[in-house]
Amino acid sequence: MPYITATDGTSLHVKDMGAGRPVVLIHGWPLTGDMWEKQTLALVEAGYRVITYDRRGFGLSGHPINCYNYDVLADDLAVILEQLDLWDATLVGFSMGGGEVARYLNRHGRARISKAVLLASIVPFLLKTADNPDGVDISVFDGIKQEIRQDRFAFLKSFLPGFYGMSMLHHPVSEGVLDWSFTLASMASPMATLDCVDAWGKTDFRSDLQAFTIPTLIIHGTADSAVPADIAGRRAADLIPGSVFLEYDGAPHGLFLTHAQQVNEDLLKFLAS
């Protein structure tokens, strides 16, 4: 079943691999479900059923003109869980994908879900407001959108090295990984790339956190410049009772690759607990 149809008719490209307890991996912006290559291999070899999918507007899923708010995105996730008849599932959301985990739990409940993982996630709220004074100024998100409008491909080329924490002296991923990531990101529609900046940058998930009544693992890197731990991972850990918070010293945003072995070990340990 490579495609599942969302409630508005949008085709969602889904990969369903392995057998066992299901683990649903939800990708970040601006990549696709294929970003989970390292985790998929480890999970399938450990005896889990792994489901990845391309968010609407990204990868091989349909590219509608609009409908990129988190209510719609959470409903897309719900359709996938229902169509694949998944129960006792673990939801793993990276970066923007953490928002789908939060909104899904609040909007659809936990009946099908046993555990949740927030990996370098944007939850609970990134935007600077009067009641979120440590957040990111709106001008940052508007600047990102302006760069995308001017030259989306130039933006991606400049964005991805920092995503993986690359510098003059530090090369945690290869040029091949940068090329691969650029290819995945280039597959997105320009509308989705733009509209999702508002979705992940300006959506307030603080009220959704009450729905995290299941075991929750939060992983964040101390060197994450895209989604700083101070306003995301650490705050989510403070607001989700009983959550387990693991902080990776020196890890950048793209830790699913730069720290893949550590992520996989901690994820498997959490799944088995």
Catalytic one of 27, 220, 253, 259: 253
Q: Are 65 and 192 in contact (CB under 8 A)?
A: no
Task: Clarify whether 253 is annotated catalytic.
Answer: yes
Reported residue count of the chain is 273
Sequence-ordered list of residues with C-beta below 8 angstroms from that of 12, at least 6 positions apart, any chain: 3, 4, 5, 6, 53, 54, 56, 61, 62, 76, 79, 80
Bridge partners of 134? none
Catalytic one of 54, 76, 208, 224: 224
Strands 244-248 and 216-221: parallel
Task: Clarify whether 114 is annotated catalytic.
Answer: no
Task: Clarify whether 85 is annotated catalytic.
Answer: no
Angle at 94 between CA 209 and CA 164, to 5 degrees: 135
Catalytic one of 61, 95, 181, 243: 95
Catalytic residue numbers, as ranges: 95, 224, 253
